[in-house]
Copies of this chain bind each other. A is one copy, B any other.
Amino acid sequence: MAKKALEGIKVIDLTSALSGPFATMFFADYGAEVIKVEPLGGEQSRSWGPFLKKSGESNFYGNFNRNKKGVSLNLKTEKGLQMLYDLVKDADFFWENYRGGVTKRLKIDYDTIKQINPNIIYVSGSGFGTDSPISYRPCYDIVSQAMAGMLNLTGYPDQDPVKVGPSVADHVSGIYQAVGALIALHHRDKTGEGQFVDVAMFDTIFSLLENAVPDYTVDGVIDQRNGNIDPSIAPFDVYKVKDGFCAVGVGNDRLWAKFCNYIGKPELLEDERFKTNTLRCENYKSALRDVMQEWAGQYTKKELEDMMDEAGIPCGPVMDMKEVIEHPQTEARDLLLHVQHPIDGDVEVQGVVAKMSETPAEITTAAPMVGQDNKEVFGLTDEEARKLEEEGVISSTSSCKM
């Protein structure tokens, strides 16, 4: 069995849905003990499809919560809250992604948790952060994409703005939570001191905006969406080919020469409109785009990709999910892994991104059923568990319907 980098680290995980669970998933994948604490009946994302065929369990939940232990606890009872506090005593991390104000109401805010375990690292994921004028607001991924500028920068110039398809704010906020948590862990390894880590989806999206930020702060220019074009490189676009679309980028004059020769159009190199990257940018929409589209349109995705591969020009077909999942790269990089589910048997979940030579991530257990680990985590006998269940303190049945 491979060494696990985060073995011995204990995470009390109050997060739900997406950003927090995605963050604690990394901890679980690299060997930490992540105890997911759900409300009675399970957290909301258990009711989000797609659902496994036999168990009816959510594969959405299943993906983000593999490798974790699961307990189901009613924090609104005194006993339940005390049981959580007991768990916190020897934990390394406390993690939550409620919206502003909720942890205080639930008596699980940083000040409270720190009383119980002064050196804990408390990670908070939210839409707007814990200290801003609008911290209290509910936030969906689409709201932060809209408010932090991503939505207006995505899409075609002559069409309405459009959001990034998948939930980029949730996911990337989760990755940032992991970054903050790991920096805090290094500090605690050195000094013993815990701290509070605060990550907001608004900030997350803002951090991805690249040139759009200095274009305004330095030049006063308000960037607008540009379709698939990069205004500072040409040709750099997505072209319609015989059986779909293909991205091609010719990043500099050296590549442009290579490209023109390879496609058998050396005369383009003599064209005054296309002599330099600056000129190609200026004349892209009026002239070069048509030249490129006419050339690309003669080929299939595969043909274009193979040619550009040979020529050493960055190029990639626009692939749909079937093509992506069946692509050799997906297998070569272990992007889909198998895990045994107690009811459904072999189930696929997403692999991990950071590949590590000595302490690789490993997926060993399927996501927990509701309250699956109540007895082990709280050290309960069957009788004690039954009694707590009757009292409405813990639960072991799902209230999430397919």
Per-residue 0/1 for A184-209: is the Cβ within 8 Å of any B Cβ (1 yes, 0 no)?
11110111011111111011101111
Chain A contact patch, size range = 35 or more
Give the residue name and chain of the B residue nearest to A251 (CB). Answer: B140
Task: Say which residue of B145, B156, B167, B335 sits within 8 Å of A206 (CB atoms).
Answer: B335
Q: Using Cβ atoms and an 8 Å threshold, which residues of chain B touch A245?
A: 146, 151-152, 160-161
User: Shortest CB–CB separation between residue A358 and chain B, in angstroms?
Assistant: 4
Contacting A232 at CB < 8 Å: which of B48, B133, B185? B48
Contact A183 B5 (CB under 8 A): yes
Residue of B nearest to A63 (CB): B214
Query: What's the least CB distance linking A401 to chain B, in Å?
Result: 10
Say yes or no for A82: interface residue by CB 8 A criterion.
no
Once the chains bind, are B140 and A314 in contact (CB under 8 Å)?
A: yes
Q: Which residues in chain A, 246-279, are within 8 Å of chain B measured between CB atoms?
A: 246-247, 249, 251
Which residues in B have their C-beta under 8 angstroms from that of A251?
A: 140
Structural contact, B143 and A333, CB atoms closer than 8 A = no
A146 close to B319 (CB less than 8 A): yes
**Does A327 sit within 8 A of B, measured CB to CB?**
yes
What is the distance, in angstroms, from A347's C-beta to the closest C-beta of chain B? Answer: 8
At the interface with chain B, which of A73-81, A219-227, A386-394?
A219-227
B-chain residues with CB within 8 Å of residue A333 when the two chains form the complex: 129, 132, 200, 202-203
Count chain B CB atoms within 10 A of each CB in A48, A52, A198, A211 and give the residue with the most: A211
Chain B residues within 8 Å of A209, by CB: 166, 321, 324
The 10 A-B residue pairs with the shortest CB-CB distance, nearest first, are A180-B354, A153-B165, A182-B182, A143-B316, A195-B358, A147-B316, A196-B357, A5-B187, A149-B324, A146-B247
Q: How far is the CA of A277 from the CA of B317 in the complex (A)?
A: 36
Assess whether A309 is in contact with B137, with CB atoms less than 8 Å apart: yes
Chain B, Cβ-Cβ closest to A202 = B329
Is the CB of A312 closer than 8 A to any CB of chain B?
A: yes
Chain B residue numbers with a CB within 8 Å of A319 are 146-149, 152
CB of A375 closer than 8 Å to a CB of B: no
Tell me the bound Cα distance from A246 to B160 in angstroms: 11
A217 CB to closest chain B CB, in angstroms? 5
A292 neighbours in B (Cβ, 8 Å): none
Docked Cα-Cα span, A243 to B208, in Å, equals 26
Known: A236-B142, A321-B216, A325-B217. A197 touches B63 (CB 8 A): no
Residues 48-72 of A at the B interface (beta carbon under 8 Å) = 48-53, 59-60, 63
Residues in A127-172 with C-beta less than 8 Å from chain B: 128-129, 131-134, 137-140, 142-156, 159-168, 171-172
Q: Are B212 and A166 in contact (CB under 8 A)?
A: yes
Residue in B50, B53, B211 whose beta carbon sits within 8 Å of that of A211 in the complex: B50
- Please determine whether B240 and A317 come into contact, CB atoms closer than 8 angstroms: no
Q: What is the CB-to-nearest-CB distance from A130 to chain B, in angstroms, rounded to a whole number?
A: 8
